[in-house]
Amino acid sequence: MRPVLIHPRGFDLEAARRALARRDPRLAAAMRRIGPLDVGTRWSEPFDTVDVLARAILYQQLSGKAAATIVGRVERAIGAERLHVDTLARIDDERLRACGVSAAKARALRDLCARAEGGEVPDARRLARMDSEAIVEQLSAVRGIGRWTVEMLLIFRLGRPDVLPLDDLGIRRGTQWLDGLDAAPGRRELAERGEAWAPWRSLAALYLWRIADGG
């Protein structure tokens, strides 16, 4: 029997930065200008997969302030700060709607809870035993959860080192600025460009977001 590979949470940011600098002079210049990124602190924090995904659903297509207001209402309605199967069961769809949750998002939350009860939503320990693509495939089966949402979990919660969200507008714009392009690259072009950053594409993505924000 082959041993199960346990994926560590996080990676050596400095080693990744040095490797990227050797491979991509343009990115190297941008990284020197921006400086080191402090992104590893959340990698050691415990998390509940259901809670992370439930919040992702509630935040979709809303400003951060509006979404935080709705999440706060839901937390007060369920009497807990943890969004999980047991706590979300305390509130029906009508009360969710009263909190500002759309009907589509309410259905997504119920689907998430049903899948969690059926063992289809891995906890952090199980996620550590899965490769990144397997995680994307399993979690994106949840209503309202797409590849991008799972990729954010891979980068910011699990600290997987080689994730490049190809559909992210910020990353596309950051690449456009980095390479001096007339237009943002498409998915295929970005994938090809990102081959130079493997196996540290997560750190490249983090810098591209900063570049897109004017960093």
Q: Any idea which residues carry the catalytic annotation?
A: 168
SS3 4: coil
User: Is the N-terminal amide bond of 199 cis, ω within 30° of 0?
Assistant: yes
Instruction: Return the closest-CA partner of residue 105 out of 66, 138, 134.
Output: 66
Instruction: Determine the Cα angle at 186 with ends 182 and 191, to 5°.
Output: 120
| 166, 156 Cβ separation under 8 angstroms | no
| 150, 139 Cβ separation under 8 angstroms | yes
For 19-58, give the secondary structure using H, E and C. HHHHHCHHHHHHHHHHCCCCCCHHHHCCCCHHHHHHHHHH
Cβ-based neighbour number of residue 112 at 10 Å: 27
Residue type for position 39: V
